[in-house]
Chain A
């Protein structure tokens, strides 16, 4: 079979790419996509381990993560729409009115 290390390495790479996306991109939609990528990377890691440990609780947990991700995106997109209504831009760098 495919050794579990490959799955973990893939998950790590995906997670890193997701982190890079969150940190380096200015478009919130891309940031959310990157967050999704991070979450999915985590899911991949959980599923891989659950198959190795022959435990279903991991896979059940993945369901929760997916549901939470979806809800979170929904809320986030709604926020972005509102922000756009006021600021007419979705560049996160422009959201700096709470600076000290």
Chain B
């Protein structure tokens, strides 16, 4: 919870600074744009956070976004698939990719870094070969589908971008899965100590495979939405570096790369911070060449601040605990089940 407050404060701070320096940050058009793109990255980041929670990593996300983003228009335009068939086919491909990652990592005990790094290269190469490196697009005949990415849900005078609606739906499902089902608990347990989880009778292989499938599926969904949004998809460039954005968002949002920690809300706010930063660099007229450097510095500052706050809090907890020990000098026979100190 503290982490979410911290990252939210960072987000508000960046928004305020940008707004003060560049008042057109707060135009409806700009805000809608930022929300739309934050939502797209949010969906993908939720996916990778499941993998990170198990202590793994997925580097293939950008290539999966490129693959699915090109495959959808390719199937629709070149192969003449119907819209539902094409979407189902693309999601099936994503699912298959996640399944293969998971199986290689659990059954063959390959390292996630290696498996998904190879995936990054393979899917990119494959889609460039399949499309002959030609830009893919939907033309004008699929505007009905593109509503999913560029449309708005109007509530009164406010137009809510469709990707945000999809994000909210995905996030609610993901948060419920992580926090309120036994499977979420299993994922957290595996991330903390996989061996002990196995000794407790958890099917660790299955849970890890599920995590990689969720990640690939959400990457595929993201890929579809990104493609629908831009309408002109380059097989060589679509989604490049997106895995790093997603991982950074997850880390900013409170996931530990050691595994076992993470919250969906935090990850979404993390993704938003990334997009707002990108937007403010543009809108404040900073040199775009500095984009990566600025994003990198802000993430680093965020992570450092988080670590310092964590240490400070741990120190204070120690002092409080000592004071409490002193105050109840004669501990009763059974100190169990006494008043609960707030754990987190």
- Do A and B bind? no
